[in-house]
Structure 1
């Protein structure tokens, strides 16, 4: 039975992207999408998907080390630079069930991206298109239309509720937006 892209990636989450090769022996640079090193450092089997080439690969990571802010990985069966180059640009997916458990008041980005956002009065503000990491706190980028972008800091003063199950967020409008 042939599976669709959606079926193959069902219950999977992209946690990084394969960059350029490193050296001549098939090592690759892995640029993580997460700031939780345990997710990357515990990788053993992953699904690689190259959107440009429409190629899937179930890959076994046999070696990993950190170098200059990126992870250098070795994939079983990739022994030279020519084969490694074919994987460049592939997104790295794992099963969502492999993510470490988090506290009730924490979230993974994928859980709140595309959430519908409302103010305290129930007015629809838009959906979460992006989450910016500023160092001190995350910032929700909310878009209702192309010309109307709202930035809401993810701090207790402005976030009333985050319902990950129903993908809805209720916020207090910051005073600078009133």
Structure 2
């Protein structure tokens, strides 16, 4: 496996599109129009290592991004990348507003209640539609599902990986 420590996954190539070398990408980024715009350099993670590619063109089609990379002239040159993940370098990440966070800033954060008692550690984030739900691993108890809403999440300290929540009645049952 390649080292993707300073890279962030933005999608997966799920298939080719047509014979001219376009690929269908399932995006997992809040900024696909920026990630897949002309001139952006992406990294494709293959079994042999990372392959840098520069976006020549892109367009949204049926909830998938159709992307053509520079230097790719036909389907035969791109087909080998089907099912491979696509990454962007950390310095290409978008600056976020206050109270917005990248997943990697939340994962492994310690969650405490308003009195400072440790509830657990965020292990994953589920995107359910209306709001994200943070899965919190608890010692000796089932995982807690914490909705990312203002009534529950009171503060997020990204630098110290500490999240304070108001454990409303029934939330941790």
Are positions 1:74 and 2:68 aligned together?
A: yes
> For 1:102, which of 89, 96, 101 is the aligned residue?
96
What is the distance in 2 between the residues matched to 1:80 and 1:89?
A: 18
Distance 1:19 1:67, change over 3 A: same
What is the distance in 2 between the residues matched to 1:38 and 1:163?
A: 29
What is the distance in 1 between the residues matched to 2:152 and 2:126?
A: 16
- Per the normalisation by structure 1, the TM-score is 0.84
Q: 2:127 corresponds to which residue?
A: 133
Q: Is the 8 A contact 1:13 1:96 kept in 2?
A: yes
> For 2:105, which of 105, 111, 122 is the aligned residue?
111
What is the distance in 1 between the residues matched to 2:68 and 2:90?
A: 23
Higher mean Cα deviation, 112-121 or 142-151?
Answer: 142-151
Could you list the runs of 5+ residues in structure 1 that have no partner in the other structure?
none
- Per the normalisation by structure 2, the TM-score is 0.87
Are positions 1:36 and 2:31 aligned together?
A: yes
What is the distance in 2 between the residues matched to 1:170 and 1:54?
A: 42
What is the distance in 1 between the residues matched to 2:153 and 2:161?
A: 14
Q: 1:88 corresponds to which residue?
A: 82
Are positions 1:157 and 2:157 aligned together?
A: no
Report the secondary structure of 1:39's partner residue.
helix
Distance 1:146 1:11, change over 3 A: farther
Q: Is the 8 A contact 2:133 2:145 kept in 1?
A: yes
C-alpha displacement of 1:104: 1.9
Please provide the CA RMSD for this pair.
Answer: 2.2
What is the distance in 2 between the residues matched to 1:23 and 1:74?
A: 11
C-alpha displacement of 1:66: 1.1
What is the distance in 2 between the residues matched to 1:146 and 1:19?
A: 39
> For 1:167, which of 151, 161, 165 is the aligned residue?
161
Aligned length: 171
> For 1:122, which of 111, 116, 125 is the aligned residue?
116
